């Protein structure tokens, strides 16, 4: 039986929510990952030192062991330097959302005026706090990410020492940016390494595959696969696992978000193995992120094996991607 061992897997973009949902989903990630960058788009967003500290405590209370590190983020606003100095120790990054572009992002940035943002972004650069960005405009849905490239360019050239992470990239346009600007990095989800728009709406509409940014064209998928499979040193795995209750997905007005946390490592093995690139998975799912973010996660060794694994129909009322379908890799042991 073929097996593959991963050390300290990291999920560099994760939604854990709060309260009952947090208690439901946090253990699923803590089971197989050493740590995760936790998104701040709660209602209201995580935007003060107290918010960060209290949310981290709630996360730790929801996970059954100590071998999981939630890397906390703050919701981007135009903060001053004194405030950023006061929170720097408690956060790993700051997450910027354009206003209203996705779930719980209403309080995000409504105009990318570099002068208005300069104090905050320069302070982040000085304090070495990475900026994670949801890079979509409010244009035509298939063009939103590509249209955002000029904003990435503006940010990258205005703040050349600021680490900027293009979150959950879905296009060849974003892939092409990686080699153009030293300070641009990217996370890639597992669903965007499998799906195109055809899978979402080409046949019967699939609400559990609907997310922001929407899956794109075959040539975009190929570009994403090319950098992920070679574990390009500037790309990291970030699931963007975004749980919504079943009724919010299977409804008139489907919430955006694909729930992959409990099947992410199995799917990553499946995809990397399919292309004969399993040896590069360690870099993609941990080592690149450790280097880019300068983090040293707790030891965890996850062994997967190639055998059928039927994805559960739901996890506490949240339907995962590929519910009821059979994957070809399963988690065998975790030490
Ligand atoms: C995310 C969510 O539900 O919080 N949804 C999504 O479609 N990915 C927000 C986000 O990351 O855009
Ligand atoms: Zn997200």
DSSP state of 2: -
Token output for 199:
């899978």
CATH number at residue 291: 3.20.20.140
Catalytic residue numbers?
A: 240
Q: Quick one: pLDDT at residue 64?
A: 82
Cα first-last separation, the chain: 20
For residue 55, give its domain range. 3-334
Q: Which atom of ligand 1 is nearest to the CA of 41?
A: 4
User: With bands split at pLDDT 50, 70 and 90, how would you rate the model's confidence at 253?
Assistant: very high
Ligand 1 centroid from CA 1, angstroms: 37
| Edge-to-edge strands, sheet with 93-96 | 10-14, 35-38, 69-75, 93-96, 131-133, 164-166, 184-188, 235-237
Nearest atom in ligand 1 to the alpha carbon of residue 168 is 11
Into how many domains does the chain fold?
Answer: 1
**37 pLDDT above the threshold of 90:** yes
Encode pLDDT of 290-314 as tens digits. Answer: 999 999 998 999 999 999 999 999 9
Percent of the chain past pLDDT 70, that is, above it, reads 99
pLDDT in tens, 82-96: 999 999 999 999 999
Q: How far apart are CA 238 and CA 14, in angstroms?
A: 7
DSSP symbols for 31-98: HH-SEEEEP---SS---SHHHHHHHHHHHHHHSSSSS-EEEEEEE-----HHHHHHHGGG-SEEEE-B
Residue 102 Cα to ligand 1 midpoint, Å, equals 6
Nearest residue (CA) to ligand 1, atom 9: 103
pTM metric for this prediction: 0.98
Token code pair at residue 48 = 């003060």
Which residue in 161, 150, 154 sits closest to 183, CA to CA? 161
Chain segment 5-18, per-residue pLDDT in tens? 999 999 999 999 99
Write the residue with the smallest CA distance to atom 5 of ligand 1: 257
């Amino acid at each position: 039986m073929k097996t593959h061992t991963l050390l300290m897997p990291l999920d560099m973009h994760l939604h854990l929510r709060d309260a009952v949902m947090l208690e439901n989903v946090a253990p699923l990630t803590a089971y197989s990952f050493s740590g995760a960058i936790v998104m701040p788009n709660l209602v209201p967003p995580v935007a003060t030192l107290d918010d960060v500290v209290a949310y981290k405590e709630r996360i730790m209370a929801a996970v059954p062991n100590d071998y999981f590190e939630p890397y906390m983020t703050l919701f981007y606003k135009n903060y001053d330097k004194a405030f950023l100095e006061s929170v720097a120790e408690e956060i790993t990054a700051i997450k910027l959302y354009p206003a209203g572009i996705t779930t719980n992002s209403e309080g995000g940035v409504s105009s990318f005026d570099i002068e208005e943002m300069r104090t905050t972004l320069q302070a982040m650069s000085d304090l070495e706090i990475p900026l994670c960005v949801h890079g979509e405009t409010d244009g035509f849905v298939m063009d939103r990410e590509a249209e955002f490239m000029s904003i990435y360019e503006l940010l990258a050239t205005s703040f050349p020492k600021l680490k900027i992470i293009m979150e959950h990239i879905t296009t060849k346009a974003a892939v092409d940016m990686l080699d153009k600007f030293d300070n641009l990095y990217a996370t890639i989800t597992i669903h965007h390494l499998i799906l195109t728009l055809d899978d979402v709406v080409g046949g019967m509409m699939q609400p559990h595959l609907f997310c922001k940014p929407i899956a794109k064209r075959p040539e975009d998928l190929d570009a994403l696969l090319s950098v992920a499979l070679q574990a390009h040193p500037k790309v990291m795995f970030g699931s963007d696992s975004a749980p919504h209750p079943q009724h919010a997905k299977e409804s008139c007005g489907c919430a955006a978000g694909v729930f992959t946390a409990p099947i992410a490592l199995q799917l990553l093995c499946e995809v990397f193995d399919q292309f004969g690139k399993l040896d590069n998975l360690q870099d993609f799912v941990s080592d690149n992120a450790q280097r880019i973010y300068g983090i040293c996660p707790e030891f965890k060794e996850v062994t997967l094996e190639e055998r059928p694994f039927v994805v559960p129909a739901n996890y506490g009322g949240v339907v995962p991607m590929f519910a009821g379908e059979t994957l070809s890799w399963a988690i065998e042991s975790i030490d």
